[in-house]
């Protein structure tokens, strides 16, 4: 039985899309948890890499269960293969919350590429990035 060449093209494209890199971007999902295993319930996981000489940024919003998916152009559309520097940004506090002495949900060191020291290599296929963070130390009175 001979198949039409177009059928073969569609089959190849479908298999490529299922591999997680159909657009050149690969699926990256993961979790953000504290050292005790409880999830970060809000925030953003962002990354940056130099891909083919250009700075590329990705990000994903953290859900209530600590999960996130990276997107480059739109939420969840994946990241290009490469090595990314990673940060975790907590939900921004309002002036009222700050004046009440509330602290961000994540230690400040995780909010800077230089101090987080988290890197992640996105490879062809589906990628899982699981991050452990700590809470900030209580303010001294």
In order of their start, the domains of the chain are 5-133 (2.60.40.1120)
The HSE-up count of residue 47 (CA atoms within 13 Å, CB side) is 28
Residue (of 17, 113, 26, 119) closest to 69 by Cα position: 26
DSSP notation for 9-42: HHHHHHHHHHTT-TTS-B-EEEEEEETTSPBP-S
Residue 137: pLDDT band (50, 70, 90) is confident
Return the pLDDT at 67: 98
**pTM of the model as a whole:** 0.81
Q: Between the ranges 7-16, 19-28, 86-95, where is the mean pLDDT highest?
A: 86-95
Residue 32 has pLDDT above 70, yes or no: yes
Helices (H), the chain: 5-18, 95-99, 113-116
Return the exposure string of 89-122: e unless at least 16 CB atoms fall within 10 Å of the residue's CB, then b: bbeeeeeeeeeeeebbbbbebbbeeeebebebeb
């Amino acid at each position: 039985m001979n198949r039409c060449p177009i059928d073969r093209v569609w089959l190849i494209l479908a298999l490529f899309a299922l591999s997680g890199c159909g657009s050149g971007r690969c699926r990256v999902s993961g979790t953000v948890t504290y050292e005790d295993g409880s999830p970060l319930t809000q925030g953003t996981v962002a990354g940056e890499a130099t891909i083919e000489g250009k700075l590329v940024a990705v990000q994903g919003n953290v859900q209530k269960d600590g999960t996130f998916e990276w997107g480059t152009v739109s939420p969840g559309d994946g990241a290009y293969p490469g090595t990314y520097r990673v940060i975790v940004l907590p939900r921004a506090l309002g002036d009222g919350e700050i004046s009440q002495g509330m602290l961000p949900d994540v230690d400040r060191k995780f909010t800077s590429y230089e101090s987080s020291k988290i890197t992640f290599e996105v490879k062809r296929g589906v990628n899982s990035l699981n991050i452990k963070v700590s809470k900030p130390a209580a303010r001294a009175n």
